[in-house]
Structures are given as C-alpha cells and as structure tokens.
Structure 1
Amino acid sequence: MSSYKSVIKNVGLLSSAKIIFLALSVIRNKFTAVWLGADGMGIMSMFNAILSPATTLADMGVSTSAVRNIASSKDDYETARQVKAIQTFYVLSLLLTISIMVLLAGFLKRRMLTDSLGTWTVYALAFVAAFSVLSNFFNSVLQAKGKIAKLVTAQLYSTIIGSVFTLVIIYFFRIDGIVWGLLVGAMIGLPIGWYFFNKLHIPKVEISAKDSISIIKDLLLTGGLVTLAGFSATMCIVFAKVFLLNHLGLKVVGFYEVSVAFSNIYIGMILQSMGTDFFPRLCQVVGQPRQMYQLVNEQMEIGLLFATIGVDICLIIAPTLLITLYNSEFIAATDMLRWQCVGVGLRVLGYPLGYLLMAQRRNIAYFCLQLSFWCSYYLAITGGVRFFGMKFIGIDYIFAYAIYLCFGYILAYKTGLRPTPLLKKVFIFSLSSQFILLLSVFLLPPPYSYLVASIFYIYVLWKADQILKLHFEINLMANLRIMLSRIRLRIFKHDNSE
C-alpha cells in the first residue's frame, strides 16, 4: 500500500510549523541585516562556523542513532534503558566539549573572529553548543516515539520565544548582542524540550555501568561515523568561509551565508518535515526490502515535485527576495542564490539515500558518501573562486551534489534500489523547468525575462498539479481553494460577530 497519504499527513503538520519558522527566520534576518549590514551577517556566519563543529563533536551522531534504536525498541523497558544510557553519554560529552572550547578560546578567536570581539565570545559559544545539543536530544526522543505533534509544539515555542529575545538583544547591543542572542535562544529551548520530553512518561530504570557502555558503544558505532561525516561537512564549510574571508572579504562571507541560508529554507523545510517521519518508519521496515525501497522512492518522488515548485519561483524572484528580506546591499548575491537553489533542489534526491544507508547499518558506506560530497564541494568552491571569482559560488554546490547522487545511487543500486518510472518522469520535469527558467533570467533583459519566466512558471504549476492528481491522488488546486474558502468564512464570521 502506498504511503503517500501518510507522508502528506505528517509533512502537512510539520510544514505548517516550518512555515512559521520560515516567517520568523525572515523577520530575524531582515532586522539583523538592517541593523548590522553584511559585515554583521559575516560575523554571524563565523559564529556558526565555530558552533557547527562543536555541536557535531559533542553529539557524536548519537541523536541520529538514538532515533533508530528507540524506534526499533521492543517495549518501554528497552526504550528507558536506551534513554538512560544516552543521558549519561551527553553529561560526559558536554562537559568535555565545554572544557575543550574554553582551552581553545584564544586560538579560535585569533583565527576566526575579528579583533573587536573578545575571547569571552568563545566561552559563550561553548554553552550555546551544549544547550543546543541537549535540546536536540529531547527532540530526537520525541521523533523516535512518533510524537510529531509534541515535537512540533516544542520547536514552535522554542523558536518563537527565542527569536523575540534574540532580536531585542541584537537591537540594544548590536554586534556584541549576536552571541548573547544565540545563548539566550539556546537556553530557552532547553526547559521547553525537557517539558515535552517528560510528557512521554518514560519509566525510570536502573542500568549498570557495563550495560550503559554496551548501549553507548552500539550508538557510537553508527553515530561515530555519522559524526565523522558531519565533522568533515562542518570543517569543509569552516574552511570554505575562511577561504572566502581571505580571498574576497567579510562582505562576501555575508553574501555566502545569506545565499546558503535562504536557499536551504524551503528545501530544508521539506527535508526536515519528511525526514522527521521518514527515518523512524524506514528503520521499522529495514528487514523488508520491497517496502523499504518503495518508501525511499515515494519520498524522492513527492519531495522532488514539491521542491521544484519552490526552487522555480526562487529562480525568478531571487533579486526581489534579497532586497525585501535583507537590503539592497545583498543584490550582489542574486546569481549566487539562483545557482545555490538549483543545487539544494538536488538534496531532495540525496537525503533518502543517506538515511537508507544508516537504516541498513552500512556505516562506512554512509561515511564515504558524505565525505565524497564535502570534499568535492570544498575543491569546487576553492578552485572555482580562484579561476572565476565570486560568480562561481553556488555552481560548486551543483557540482558536488551531482557527484553525491551518482555515488549514492551506485551504493544503493547494489542492494536492490531501482528508480521508478514516476521518479524518472518527475526528475526530467524538474531539471528541464529549471534549465528553461535559468535561460530566461540570464539571457533576456528585464522586464521580458520576468514576463517569460512567470508565464512558464504558471505552466510548471499546472503540470505539477496534473502529476499530483494522476499519481499521488492529491488535488493541489482544490486543496488551496478549500483553504482559502475556510479563511474567507472565518473572516466573514468574525466581521458578523462584530
């Protein structure tokens, strides 16, 4: 039986929350860009470059492997044992992470931060990393237990309250307020995550040190390679940012941060919404190849179709988005954003392959797949910028994901995964639509480029709606009309009540 409707139901719930996250992110980035400019966005980017490897090493991939183990637990007692061992691991890991970051604070400050920022900034970032990892642990348990509504609620509260405090702090303290905003946001997420975690009523159990070590060892067997893959990813990003800082300056780092962040907002919303539901279900059918591969193909098919709708509109209105959501200074990142959008669109095809390898416990294959992407990405961005300058940023991402997809499909093909005719059809539709739109915006002068691209985008929407009706039993336009009718009805009732 097809799982399309199950996918849509869970994605609908998660996507509703992600839309709110998107709105908050837009507001936060807009005010930050206005108050701090490209230089401020560049500093925020370097903070993220410190936090990413720190949180990756502190987590050691345990939050990911915990989802797999808890989702496949036979009973509540086994779940409780897993949770108890994971909690012990995080206490030790976070104490070690904070200690290491404090010891390396001077080095990190000299190599990655501007002279105006003190060493105390790195001390604060150490606690941001610790609080963030603990919040992710609570969210992972909620995800593994299938409590999607609780997970969404916890994330909503954390994001809304954290965004308000962050903006207030940045407004009053400007550049110095960035790190304090990050710290307060991470602190707020901790008690909220703990509250919803406690509502699961996981029984308290006693577990011996020997059993704890055995469980942690099993988690790290997968999580360790996930961490190495994640660490290679974060370090490639760090090196790329340092390279851009040295070769093109802080403003370009700010443009790069905005381009990467914005291009990943829509695709990230799709991937996080689907992945939250997809990975636990995949782990449950890992011993049933037919169901497993059907699930992977269905995720790719529907994910790529929805990704195409978002990527195509972004190709058309990229400059307008940058001016509206940031300021006119960021118009220089238009081409960068367009190429980046095409690249992240390919992520929808790539992410199920990684989850498939993790569910099958093919840990070394998973590590090699992730490493192939980030190595090719770093080589592409450094080589491309040297030869072509800033205009190559974004194209490097397409190049790296092309390699990732080829390698990933070779690994999955050996175990029996085959692309369905529908997946091939959606892929050709997606690729051709983006090719035509890029030709329009690059070769035609405005306003003709926008006119031609807009007319073609109407066709893209019509074609996507036809595919959804025929193959997915989803009437996109009818659902939109129903939603608009409900909104109008509520407004009408509100007006009459007054």
Structure 2
Amino acid sequence: MFKDVSTYRRIVKSTGLFGGVQLVNILCSIIKTKLVAVWLGAEGIGIMSLYTLATETVSQITGLGIRQSGVRDVSVASKSGDHIQFESVKLVVRRWSGFAGLLGAVVTLILAPYLSLWTFGDSQHIGGFVFLSCTLLINALVAGEQAIIQGSGQLRILAKSGVAAAVVSLILSLPLFYYFRIGGIVPSLIIASVSTLLFLFYYNRKSVKSSIQVRQSWKDTKIHGRKMVLLGIYMTVSGFIVTLFNYLFIAWMNARGGMADVGYYQAGYNLMNRYFGLIFTAMGMEFYPRLAAVCDDKSEISRHVSQQAEISMFILVPTIGLLLLFKDLVIRILYTGDFQIVEGYLLWSVPGVLFKAVSWSMGFILLAKGKGPLFLVTEIVSAVMNLALNFIGYKYMGLQGIGIAYTLGFILYMLFIGIICFRMFGLRMSKSFYIVFLISCLFSLGTFGCIKYEYQSLAYILVGGGTLYSLWMLKRRLALGLHK
C-alpha cells in the first residue's frame, strides 16, 4: 500500500510542478507576443513565427528524436543502480546530442539561402538564418541535458531551469524589441536558447555531482546509441506523419469550406491543446521515465499505467466539466464573439479527452519498451483513422462533426492500443481503474448531455459533484486520512 501511495503522490506532485512551469511559460509567451504586437506590429509577429517555425522544422528532422528516446535509456540505467553504466549512458546521450546539433547547424548554414526563399519568398533573411544556425546546436544540447535530467528523475532541476530561462529570456528580449524593433527578433531567439542551456547546466551541476569518470571510444558511442537513435527516428517520423495528415485535412477543408472554417477549426483545436495539453505534458514528464524504469516487469507496468490513468481521470473530470460549462466565456476571453461557432466543436470534442487519457497512458508502454516500429504503426493507423473520421464528420456536420470525430477517434484508438498492450505486453488494468473510469464517464458525459439539451442547473450540480468526487478520491489515494 505504501508503494501505491508513494506513486500517487509522485504523480500529483510532478503534475502540479510542471503544470506551474507550463503556466509560467504560457504567461511569458503571452507577454512577449503582446509587446511584439504593440512595438513591431503584425509583421513582427509574422517574422518571429516564421523564423521559429523554420528552425524548429530543421531541428525536428536533424535532432534524431533524442529528447524523447534518450529519456528511456537514462531511466533504465538509473534504475539499474550501476553508476558506471549510468554515466556511460549519459555520455552517449550527450555525444549524440552534440552530433545532432552540429548536423542541424551545418544544414541550416548550407540551406540558409533556400530557407529564406522558401519561408519569406526573398533573400533578405539569409543572414538571420545564418545567425540562428547556432540555436540548432544549442537546442540539441539542451534536448540531451533535458533527457538526462528527466530520465534520472531530477524533475525539480527541469522545473527551476525552465522557469528561470523563460523569465530571463523575456526580460532580456524586451529591450531588444523596443530599441531595435524587427532587428531584435533574431538576437531574442538566440538569447532564449542560450538562457535555457545556461540555466540547465547551472542547476544540474549544482544539484548532481559525480566523481565517476567514464572513458568511451567514439565507436562505442555509436554502437551504444544506435538503438536510442533508431527509436528517436521512429518517433520523429510518426510526429511528421501526424503533422502531414493534419495539413492534408486543413488543405481539404480550406478548399471545401473556405479559410474562415479553417480559422474556426484551428481556434478550437488550439484551445483544446492549450487547455488539456498542459495537463498531459505535465504528467508525461514524470510518467515516461517511471514506466521505462520498470519496462521488463509486467505487473509493475500494469500497476503504473492503472494508477496514472486513475489520477488522469481525477484531474480531467473537473476540468472537462468547467470547460463545458464556461466554453462561451473562454472563447470570448481568448478570441472574440465571432468565434462562438467553435462551441459546437468544443461541446463534442471535450468528452473525448477522457478516452485520450486512457490511450495516452497505455501508449507510453510502447515507448518505455523501445518498440519504435510498433509505435510508428500505431501512430499511422491512428492518423489514417482520424483523417477519415474528420473527412466524414466535416462533410456531413461541419465543425460539430469534427468534434464528434475527435471523440470517436480516441474511443477507437483506446480500444486499438488497449488490445495491443493486453495481448503483446500482458497489460492488466486494475479493478479500481475500471470503476473510476466508469464513474468519470458518467459525470463527464452526463454534463455533456445536460448542456446539449439545456439542463443548465443539472449541469452545475454534476460538475460540482464530479469535482467533489475527484477531490475525495485524490485524498483517499494520497492517504490523507480517508484511505485505510
């Protein structure tokens, strides 16, 4: 029982910790965007966005997915208790990150004229890409350090460095925007990368000290890092495929319904990602390395996945209810009254987050076990299925149909990934998970039904009841007095 309570506490603490980090990052981003809009105008925002998009695209291709795959290797080595192996894996991750960074920097330097032409349609921004090539190296080194820190469970270091870097880069960037206007964009992007790396090194060196010196040939680094890089490449390709399919759907929607519908869809989709993505990102920071550390133990995998899914339900039930109740207000705050058409999309898509949470918890098993090819196959199947559902939903029901497709897609994906994990990896969800999942569905779907059919008072009661239920169950799981 103590082990279960300890795990529940870790999940909640890490979610709160990184939820706070995400909020700080979002706040800094909002302030920066707002001031850039005031001082540089729409043109400034556009230029900064295009520079960022172009360099991130190159980074995604040349980064070899080490930020994600490296976490697994570090976590397994950390769990083993073999300090020499642990230091050896850290060296492998750092060397491969350096190689990926140099590759990205060289590619950006060589393609600078083409990136300027493809991104801006002219040759006036070649110099900007030349200077930004250094950020490819810096960001790759950052990715390697973050993978090491996350994999070794030093989550507070990630949190502290993330907050410090966000605040300092904001403070240093504002004078650049004010005095140099558009000319301050490239230096501000470089400052953001350098700040992140410096604070990572500072907090990491301050908190983690090792007297073990590992000698490793470059040939050994290549051999030992091959599996990690292959997993990273599979993850990178899967991310690219998901992005490609989303692009195909948006292009088709634009041709069929016009740019306005694309804008409404993107507004709703981005709102979902911002609102719930914060929660999933925060939970994943601790869950992935924890699961990777027990990847060879079926019973431990089942225990951790069940507990993660349960905590996800307790966090999501109140947030789903609140968004359903106040979706009109949220849309007005983030956008304008013209975007009220997005309500139909949100109404039908928000309940799907419950099914996403379950499939998300199960899907990490593939990454924890290093099953890159299988992970890629599941992502392709999911992307094809979602594309087909989006086509059908939009064709017959417009934006509301896409919301239905979102929820239906995650129901089908939950069943699909569940069958794979049950049959191939022996996953057995706990009895308590099924009870929690059923009750969570009743609260969330009940709220959905009340709002759709305009039983507003009953919806408030259900949201209040769901919130009290979640808090009570969290209290029991954390053994604060009710759990016996």
What is the aligned partner in structure 1 of residue 144 from structure 2?
A: 137
Which AA in structure 2 matches 1:369?
Answer: T
1:460-471 aligned at under 5 Å gives the runs 460-469=466-475
Contact 2:245–2:387 (CA under 8 A) maintained in structure 1? yes
**Alpha-carbon distance in 2 for matches of 1:183, 1:338:** 41
1:370 to 370, 379, 382: 379
Which AA in structure 2 matches 1:465?
Answer: L
1:238-257 aligned at under 5 Å gives the runs 238-243=247-252, 255-257=264-266
Contact 2:348–2:400 (CA under 8 A) maintained in structure 1? no
2:277 to 268, 286, 296: 268
**Alpha-carbon distance in 2 for matches of 1:301, 1:39:** 46
1:201 matched to 2:194? The reply is no
User: What stretches of structure 2 of length at least 5 have no aligned partner?
Assistant: none
1:477-488 aligned at under 5 Å gives the runs none
Deviation at 1:25, TM superposition (A): 1.4
1:304 matched to 2:313? The reply is yes
What is the aligned partner in structure 2 of residue 68 from structure 1?
A: 72
Contact 1:309–1:461 (CA under 8 A) maintained in structure 2? yes
What is the aligned partner in structure 2 of residue 422 from structure 1?
A: 432
**Alpha-carbon distance in 1 for matches of 2:135, 2:397:** 37
Q: Which secondary structure state, in structure 1, belongs to the residue aligned with residue 429 of structure 2?
A: coil
Which AA in structure 1 matches 2:460?
Answer: S
Deviation at 1:154, TM superposition (A): 1.1
The normalised TM-score by structure 1 is 0.80
CA 1:182–1:395 in structure 2 vs 1: closer, same or farther (change >3 Å)? farther
What is the aligned partner in structure 2 of residue 457 from structure 1?
A: 463
CA 1:167–1:25 in structure 2 vs 1: closer, same or farther (change >3 Å)? farther
Which AA in structure 2 matches 1:440?
Answer: C
**Alpha-carbon distance in 2 for matches of 1:472, 1:211:** 44
CA 1:295–1:25 in structure 2 vs 1: closer, same or farther (change >3 Å)? same
**Alpha-carbon distance in 1 for matches of 2:338, 2:120:** 22
1:123-134 aligned at under 5 Å gives the runs 130-134=137-141
Deviation at 1:437, TM superposition (A): 2.4
Q: Which secondary structure state, in structure 1, belongs to the residue aligned with residue 428 of structure 2?
A: coil
1:179-190 aligned at under 5 Å gives the runs 182-190=189-197
Which AA in structure 2 matches 1:59?
Answer: G
**Alpha-carbon distance in 2 for matches of 1:313, 1:271:** 17
Q: Which secondary structure state, in structure 2, belongs to the residue aligned with residue 346 of structure 1?
A: helix
What is the aligned partner in structure 2 of residue 354 from structure 1?
A: 363
Q: Indicate the percent of aligned positions where both proteins have the same amino acid.
A: 21
What is the aligned partner in structure 2 of residue 324 from structure 1?
A: 333
**Alpha-carbon distance in 2 for matches of 1:190, 1:264:** 26
Deviation at 1:194, TM superposition (A): 2.3
1:234 to 237, 243, 246: 243
1:150 to 157, 161, 164: 157
Which AA in structure 2 matches 1:162?
Answer: S
Q: CA RMSD in A?
A: 3.8
Deviation at 1:367, TM superposition (A): 1.9
**Alpha-carbon distance in 1 for matches of 2:399, 2:174:** 30
Contact 1:166–1:184 (CA under 8 A) maintained in structure 2? yes
Contact 1:305–1:464 (CA under 8 A) maintained in structure 2? yes
**Alpha-carbon distance in 2 for matches of 1:182, 1:383:** 41
What is the aligned partner in structure 2 of residue 6 from structure 1?
A: 7
Which AA in structure 2 matches 1:54?
Answer: V
**Alpha-carbon distance in 2 for matches of 1:333, 1:361:** 39
Deviations 1:309-353 (A, max 9, x none): 212211111221232244445444333344443334433212222
**Alpha-carbon distance in 2 for matches of 1:173, 1:344:** 44
Which AA in structure 2 matches 1:187?
Answer: V
Contact 2:292–2:368 (CA under 8 A) maintained in structure 1? yes
Which AA in structure 1 matches 2:282?
Answer: S
Which AA in structure 1 matches 2:12?
Answer: V
Which AA in structure 1 matches 2:22?
Answer: F
1:89 matched to 2:96? The reply is yes
What is the aligned partner in structure 1 of residue 63 from structure 2?
A: 59
1:404 matched to 2:410? The reply is no
1:274-289 aligned at under 5 Å gives the runs 274-289=283-298
Deviation at 1:287, TM superposition (A): 2.8
Q: Which secondary structure state, in structure 1, belongs to the residue aligned with residue 432 of structure 2?
A: helix
What is the aligned partner in structure 2 of residue 483 from structure 1?
A: none
